[in-house]
Structure 1
Amino acid sequence: MTENKNTLTNAVHDLLRRAIIEQALKPGMRLPEDTVGEQFGVSRTIVRHALVRLENEGLVITRRNRGAFVAEPSKEEAQHVFEVRRCLENEVIRLLCKRIPETGYDRLEAHVRSEETVKGKDGPVSIRLAGEFHILLAELTGNDVLARYVSEVVLRCSLIMSLYARNHSSDCAVDEHLQIIEAIRDGDAARAIEIMDHHLGAVADRAELSQQPDSIQSILSHYGKELSQ
């Protein structure tokens, strides 16, 4: 019975996470336990456990007396997440240049092929697949702790992109993923890290995380309203 409950919790968690990352469930959207349970044919207890896991991953927040909502990271929090992601992924590169399973390159190249099938077609799906490439890199290090942390920050970055990004360039993502694979294959950690830094920098730039000053028009329009009164 417990095993079945855990299996259902995992399934609901995975489906909700995918719906969030693929932008079907938008930041700020409420997630009522009864509604989610009805749609998936599971109890509210199962849904509650799944929502707790998503909250621990930073994808959901719970508000007192109001329930669970898809998280809406602030720009400051988003900047912090990207800073941590850069540190973690650089360590992933260093480890992979020292050790990678024999099947590692086949798995990475197969994933890139799946990314190529949605190039220019489906933004949300390409964002999810791009994130999964980075999670796969971390998993191939064989360090489960590192992989877990990378998975969390990558998923949170995907949520951030759905909230702040102007667009998603799947062409650039796929090309740079291929360049990262080749640099790792050559054992060139410095080159792979350089590509990764540029790659993640471009992602952060699309998210427009830097605070933009208000224009003089927007500032004075507030005061100008007083003239019309």
Structure 2
Amino acid sequence: MKPATETVPLRDDAQDDRSQLIREALYNAIVERRLAPGTKLIETEVGELFDVSRTVVRAALQMLAFEGLVKIERNRGAFIAYPSPDEARQIFESRRVIEPEIAMRATERMAMADIDMFRSHLREEERLLAERGPNARRAAIKASGDFHLMLAAVAGNQILERFMRELIARSSLVIALYGQSGASSCARSEHADILGALIARDGKKAASTILHHIDHIEEDLDYRAAGNAPLRQALRL
């Protein structure tokens, strides 16, 4: 007689993989501004969307909370972080401290393969900015943030790269909440100016250009809130 079939629980590493997958989906939705600041993340709803337990969802939310992208409140649940004006200023102040150094380091380490990669990325940014429709706009927003993450990767410091990943995501929250124009946070010519300085091996110019670029992004903020999208729509499920 065959023994009764038992449900085998997920192993710890399988749970970690699922939690990381959910964390990545939520992260991308935040960066692309498909999930607005203040959106409530209901564990059961997220679990149903991904067909996982609340334990797996909770681990993903805790990862995002550690990165400052989600706020977990006792007896209320988890919410996409809703940065205050003061926190918004601190985020951009942090970028002004970190990104010029990243630009200087990237100038020293830039190889021809990196230049080709950046040029290809700028062409993709141009293509996305020229297209119409919400999907193209969201892709352009993500590509804009990816430029800064690519710069951090070329700089070769994994700690700085990790900081930048958090800062770019948190900047996206701030822009979603307070941005005036609704356009991509990065003017299309400014990334090209930064790349030009990198190609010229002019670290000081690269640093000053990126500072101007960050100033330009922050000038577009006026502290007005944006609306929320349904969770299923935001996660494209």
Equivalent residues in 2 for 1:183-222, closer than 5 Å: 183-208=197-222
1:36-95 deviation digits (Å, cap 9, x = unpaired): 010111221111111111111111101110110011000010001100011110000110
CA distance in 2 between counterparts of 1:59 and 1:108 reads: 27
Amino acid at match of 1:173: A
SS at match of 1:25: coil
Asked whether the 8 Å contact 1:130–1:173 carries over to 2, the reply is: no
1-structure distance, mates of 2:164, 2:35: 22
2:193 aligns with one of 175, 179, 192: 179
Query: Where do 5+ consecutive residues of structure 2 fail to align?
Result: 1-10, 224-237
* Aligned match for 2:46, one of 36, 46, 54: 36
1:85 aligned partner: 95
Match of 2:17 in 1: 7
Partner of 2:7: none
If the length of structure 1 is used for normalisation, what is the TM-score? Answer: 0.86
Aligned length: 210
Aligned with 1:131: secondary structure?
Answer: helix
Q: What corresponds to 1:134 in structure 2? A: 148
**2:42–2:78 contact (8 Å) kept in structure 1:** yes
Is residue 127–residue 168 contact of structure 1 (8 Å, CA) maintained in 2? no
Q: Which residue of 2 aligns with 1:95?
A: 105
Residue identity over aligned pairs, in percent, reads 36
| Native 8 Å contact 1:111 1:133 kept in 2 | yes
CA distance in 2, matches of 1:74, 1:192: 30
Once superposed, what is the RMSD of the aligned Cα atoms? 1.9
Q: When the two structures are superposed, what TM-score results if normalisation uses the length of structure 2?
A: 0.83
More deviation, 157-166/13-22: 13-22
